[in-house]
């Protein structure tokens, strides 16, 4: 076996990931840990200052409820999320995050994040729930607070977590390896909080060739949360609810600021506004087709109908929006100033969070005040924190959750001691950066309490650890053993390199599970075939090979993606209806079926039987869901 030192770390609470949720967990857990003499350790595959989805920064905080201002209530937010997800949401989890998120935003401001203010000192809103920020250093600010709270001696950066350690039904820690040194890590813990983000590049991206790797969500979030929770035996939810964002085409610049702040229209090549011309289609998706704002997937769907009829390209009418906003200024001199300000804001929106879009504008001679830009539906992503919902099924807050949603500590999965937050926890969409941090705080606090109440250190079987070490490092040995069998190290009869493996996974998902090339359409026969091909891929995953530590990480990232893919395909098959047509469309069950499928579709991989179980879970309302007829025309 490759010569790797084994490093053992014994702790109480182990936080996996260093993104928004993990940073929230670190700050909160550190506070409660001090009071209870609990040790907290955090592990991130990258460097926390710029790790995770917020690496490049963001230009808006998408969840701020403003409860104290009295403008919105918890119910308002829950209604918004439930409607956007076509009725499928855990209201207890959404409400719990919503009641804590404002305090998280106030912490960000205290730590130095510049939030836009108007002349009266009030936050500048992008939309009803979103605040504008100067966010290029957002992640650095949030990470600094987490690092100060925990102390660098308790933080392991550039250590890639592969999977869980178990003591029977209870989680006992995690194993992984350094991506810089020949070190295999064994973390033993009383409680583990999984916050390793969502999954990107499970589906073939639109980008190819020189642009390969460019995606909307970060490619380094590769399904580790889903893999970790699945392998531990946790019940998962909403694995079918992928997110397809509409983005500026090819560089993936976000559209929120254009639609909400600049009030821009999107039109097809014939100057038709699909949100108007396609409005009658919304009647087919009632009651959700008639709510406001129109759910994200239905907004997608109306645009997709135009594209499928050959009416593309679809354009964001930036030039029109800027003109309209500047013309609203009656004074000519001030109008010129206003125009300059709007131009600056347009560029800053991208420079704050999707720099490549600004580069693309520069490279294709786009001045947004003169020329519209193409937008398009991107490839599917797995992200429980944005407008998708996939993640682990977690226990709800004691004072809000109905009995059926409560089996222990808040945000604990169905596995003892395993907590989840951010993209890792499901059915609680629209938490975004701020809500993920707030949920991390909630989960971090609950996990410390779990450590206090369960103070025995779980047992870890040493021979099991040795077996895992061998399995995890095997791709390095395989490469060494067989590399001379061919002249090209990437092509070999004895092994498969992670990049080729990823292409194979993406091709299966793209063609059979409703990716970009299939216009997001699939069906039972296609999914059955896709599942068969995934089985062969799984067999071949035992032949993955890595020439160095970096490739070893790539190998395991792709195994993680493959598990996310399987959970997705199985749940697409299980839910026999089409509920989110702008995310995926099941051609054999093309309609929404409120009677049979207004429920959660959950799954679990049983580690003992090594088989998948699928189950329905009831949707229970805690804020009082309006009757369908009350939503109509709402």
CA–CA separation, 313 vs 574, rounded Å?
A: 34
Tokens representing 383 are: 């992200």
In the bound state with ligand AMP, the residue whose beta carbon lies nearer, of 62 and 578, is 62
Question: Residues in the site for ligand AMP, rule: CB under 6 A?
Answer: 62, 127, 130, 245, 254-256, 259-260, 293, 296, 299, 387
**What's the CA angle centered on 26, arms 20 and 32, to 5 degrees?**
140
Tokens representing 132 are: 């504008």
CB of 502 to ligand SFD, least distance (A): 15
127 binds, among ligand SFD, ligand AMP, none (CB under 5 to 8 A by kind): ligand AMP
- Return the range that interacts with ligand SFD (CB under 6 A); candidates 50-58, 278-286, 451-459, 601-609: 50-58
Q: According to the 3-state scheme, what is the secondary structure of 165-225? A: EEECCEEEEEEEEECCCCEEEEEECCEEEECCCCECCCCCCCCCHHHCCCCCCCCCCECHH
Are 545 and 558 a contacting pair, CB within 8 Å? Answer: no
260 binds, among ligand AMP, ligand SFD, none (CB under 5 to 8 A by kind): ligand AMP
CA–CA separation, 347 vs 604, rounded Å?
A: 45
Q: For residue 287, is the peptide bond before it cis, meaning its omega torsion is within 30 degrees of 0?
A: yes
51 binds, among ligand SFD, ligand AMP, none (CB under 5 to 8 A by kind): ligand SFD
CB atoms within 10 A of CB 349: 25
Instruction: Identify the residue among 15, 46, 420, 531 touching ligand SFD (CB under 6 A).
Output: 46
**10 phi-psi bin (left φ>0, alpha ψ -120 to 50, beta other):** beta
253 binds, among ligand SFD, ligand AMP, none (CB under 5 to 8 A by kind): none
In the bound state with ligand AMP, the residue whose beta carbon lies nearer, of 113 and 544, is 113
Instruction: Quickly tell me which residue has 């604990």 as its tokens.
Output: 412
Q: Which of residues 188-207 bind ligand SFD (CB under 6 A)?
A: 195-197
Sheet of strand 391-392: strand arrangement: 391-392, 235-237, 600-606, 611-617
218 binds, among ligand SFD, ligand AMP, none (CB under 5 to 8 A by kind): ligand SFD
CB of 194 to ligand AMP, least distance (A): 24
**218 phi-psi bin (left φ>0, alpha ψ -120 to 50, beta other):** beta
Q: What is the DSSP string of 555-620?
A: HHHHHHHHHHHHHHHHHHHHS-S-S-TTT-EETTS-S--HHHHSSEEEEEEETTTTEEEEEEE---
391 binds, among ligand SFD, ligand AMP, none (CB under 5 to 8 A by kind): none
In the bound state with ligand AMP, the residue whose beta carbon lies nearer, of 282 and 296, is 296
349 part of the active site: yes
Instruction: Quickly tell me which residue has 């879970």 as its tokens.
Output: 617
Please provide the distance, in angstroms rounded to a whole number, between the alpha carbons at the two ends of the chain.
Answer: 64
Q: Which of 102, 154, 168, 192 is nearest to 409 (CA)?
A: 192
617 part of the active site: no
In the bound state with ligand AMP, the residue whose beta carbon lies nearer, of 101 and 230, is 101
Tokens representing 448 are: 């410390």
Q: What does each C-alpha distance from 289 to 78, 259, 278, 293, 519 come to in angstroms?
A: 17, 19, 12, 10, 21
Instruction: Identify the residue among 13, 40, 54, 552 touching ligand SFD (CB under 6 A).
Output: 54
Q: What is the DSSP string of 314-356?
A: EEE-HHHHHHHHHHT--SHHHHHHHHHHHHHHHHHHHHTT-HH
Does residue 52 interact with ligand SFD by CB under 6 A? Answer: yes
320 part of the active site: no
CB atoms within 10 A of CB 210: 7
Instruction: Identify the residue among 9, 15, 22, 592 touching ligand SFD (CB under 6 A).
Output: 22
Instruction: Quickly tell me which residue has 């893999």 as its tokens.
Output: 227
In the bound state with ligand SFD, the residue whose beta carbon lies nearer, of 60 and 389, is 60
Are 298 and 581 a contacting pair, CB within 8 Å? Answer: yes
Q: Where are any strands of DSSP class E within 470-599?
A: 521-522, 585-586
CB of 37 to ligand SFD, least distance (A): 26
22 binds, among ligand SFD, ligand AMP, none (CB under 5 to 8 A by kind): ligand SFD
441 part of the active site: no
CB of 484 to ligand AMP, least distance (A): 49
126 part of the active site: yes
In the bound state with ligand AMP, the residue whose beta carbon lies nearer, of 64 and 409, is 64
How far does Cα 290 stand from its chain's mean position?
Answer: 27
Are 164 and 464 a contacting pair, CB within 8 Å? Answer: no
199 binds, among ligand AMP, ligand SFD, none (CB under 5 to 8 A by kind): none
**What's the CA angle centered on 55, arms 562 and 434, to 5 degrees?**
95
Instruction: Identify the residue among 11, 41, 51, 297 touching ligand SFD (CB under 6 A).
Output: 51
The one catalytic residue in 91, 235, 250, 349 is: 349
In the bound state with ligand AMP, the residue whose beta carbon lies nearer, of 296 and 622, is 296
407 part of the active site: no
Does residue 422 interact with ligand SFD by CB under 6 A? Answer: yes
Bridge partners for 615 per DSSP = 602
CB atoms within 10 A of CB 501: 24
CB of 433 to ligand SFD, least distance (A): 3
- Return the range that interacts with ligand SFD (CB under 6 A); candidates 164-172, 213-221, 509-517, 578-586: 213-221
The one catalytic residue in 90, 201, 247, 586 is: 247
Q: Is the dihedral of CA 387, 388, 392, 398 positive or negative?
A: positive
Instruction: Quickly tell me which residue has 């969840």 as its tokens.
Output: 63
CB of 58 to ligand AMP, least distance (A): 10
The one catalytic residue in 386, 430, 478, 570 is: 386
The one catalytic residue in 79, 100, 178, 216 is: 216
| Interaction pattern, residues 342-381, with ligand SFD; x per rule: CB under 6 A | -----------xx---------------------------
In the bound state with ligand SFD, the residue whose beta carbon lies nearer, of 160 and 585, is 160
Instruction: Identify the residue among 15, 53, 322, 527 touching ligand SFD (CB under 6 A).
Output: 53
Tokens representing 439 are: 């949920």
Task: Count the site residues for ligand SFD by CB under 6 A.
Answer: 42
Instruction: Identify the residue among 98, 141, 150, 161 touching ligand SFD (CB under 6 A).
Output: 161
CB of 138 to ligand AMP, least distance (A): 15
216 part of the active site: yes
CA–CA separation, 145 vs 150, rounded Å?
A: 9
How far does Cα 310 stand from its chain's mean position?
Answer: 31
Give the interface with ligand SFD as residue ranges (CB under 6 A). Answer: 16-22, 43-46, 51-54, 58-62, 160-161, 195-197, 216-218, 221, 224, 254, 256, 353-354, 385-386, 422-423, 432-434, 436
Give catalytic residues, as residue numbers: 62, 126, 216, 247, 349, 386, 433
């Amino acid at each position: 076996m490759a010569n790797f030192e084994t490093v053992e770390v014994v702790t109480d609470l182990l936080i996996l990931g260093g993104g928004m949720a993990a940073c929230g967990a670190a700050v909160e857990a550190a506070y409660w840990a001090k009071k209870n003499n609990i040790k907290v350790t955090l592990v991130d595959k990258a460097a926390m200052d710029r790790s995770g989805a917020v690496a490049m920064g963001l230009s808006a905080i998408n969840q701020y409820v403003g409860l104290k201002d009295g403008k919105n209530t918890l119910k308002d937010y829950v209604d918004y999320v439930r409607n956007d997800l076509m009725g499928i949401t855990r209201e207890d989890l959404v409400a719990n995050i919503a009641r804590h998120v404002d305090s998280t935003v106030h912490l960000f401001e205290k730590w130095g994040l510049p939030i836009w203010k108007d002349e009266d000192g009030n936050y500048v809103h992008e939309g009803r729930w979103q605040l504008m920020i100067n966010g290029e250093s957002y992640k650095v600010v949030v990470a600094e607070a987490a690092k100060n709270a925990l102390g660098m001696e308790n933080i392991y950066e550039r250590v890639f977590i592969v999977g869980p350690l178990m003591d029977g039904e209870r989680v006992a820690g995690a194993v992984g390896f350094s991506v810089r040194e020949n070190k295999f890590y064994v973390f033993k813990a009383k409680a583990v909080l999984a916050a390793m983000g969502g999954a990107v590049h499970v589906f073939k991206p639109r980008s190819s060739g020189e642009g390969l790797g460019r995606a909307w969500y970060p490619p380094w979030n590769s399904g580790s949360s889903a893999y970790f929770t699945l392998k531990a035996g946790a019940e998962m939810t909403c694995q079918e609810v992928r997110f397809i964002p509409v983005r500026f085409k090819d560089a993936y610049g976000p559209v929120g600021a254009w639609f909400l702040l600049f009030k821009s229209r999107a039109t097809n090549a014939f100057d038709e506004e699909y949100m108007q011309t396609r409005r009658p289609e919304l009647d087919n998706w009632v009651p959700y087709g008639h709510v406001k704002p129109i759910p994200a997937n239905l907004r997608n769907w109306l645009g997709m109908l135009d594209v499928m009829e050959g009416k593309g390209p679809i354009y964001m009418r930036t030039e029109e929006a800027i003109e309209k906003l500047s013309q609203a200024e009656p004074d000519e001199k001030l109008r010129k100033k206003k125009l300059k300000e709007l131009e600056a804001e347009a560029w800053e929106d991208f420079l704050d969070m999707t720099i490549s879009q600004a580069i693309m504008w520069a490279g294709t001679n786009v001045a947004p005040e003169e020329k519209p830009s193409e937008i398009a539906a991107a490839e599917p992503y797995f992200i429980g924190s944005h407008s998708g919902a996939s993640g682990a099924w977690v226990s709800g807050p004691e004072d809000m959750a109905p009995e059926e949603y409560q089996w222990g500590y808040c945000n604990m999965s169905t596995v003892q001691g395993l907590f989840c937050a951010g993209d890792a926890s499901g059915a609680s969409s629209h938490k975004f950066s701020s809500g993920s941090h707030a949920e991390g705080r909630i989960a971090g606090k609950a996990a410390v309490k779990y450590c206090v109440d369960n103070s025995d250190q779980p047992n870890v079987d040493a021979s099991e650890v040795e077996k895992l070490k061998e399995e995890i490092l095997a791709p390095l040995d395989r490469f060494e053993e067989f590399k001379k069998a061919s002249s090209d190290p990437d092509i070999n009869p004895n092994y498969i390199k992670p990049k080729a493996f990823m292409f194979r996974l993406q091709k299966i998902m793209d063609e059979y599970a409703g990716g970009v090339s299939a216009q997001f359409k699939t069906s039972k026969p296609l999914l059955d075939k896709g599942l068969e091909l995934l089985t062969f891929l799984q067999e071949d995953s035992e032949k993955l090979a890595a020439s160095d530590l970096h490739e070893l990480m790539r190998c395991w990232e792709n195994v993680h993606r493959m598990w996310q893919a399987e959970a997705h395909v199985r749940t697409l098959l299980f839910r026999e209806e089409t509920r989110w047509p702008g995310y995926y469309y099941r051609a054999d069950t093309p309609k929404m079926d409120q009677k049979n499928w207004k429920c959660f579709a959950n799954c679990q991989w049983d580690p003992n039987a090594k088989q998948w179980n699928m189950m329905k879970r009831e949707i229970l309302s805690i804020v009082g869901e309006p009757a369908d007829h009350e939503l109509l025309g709402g």
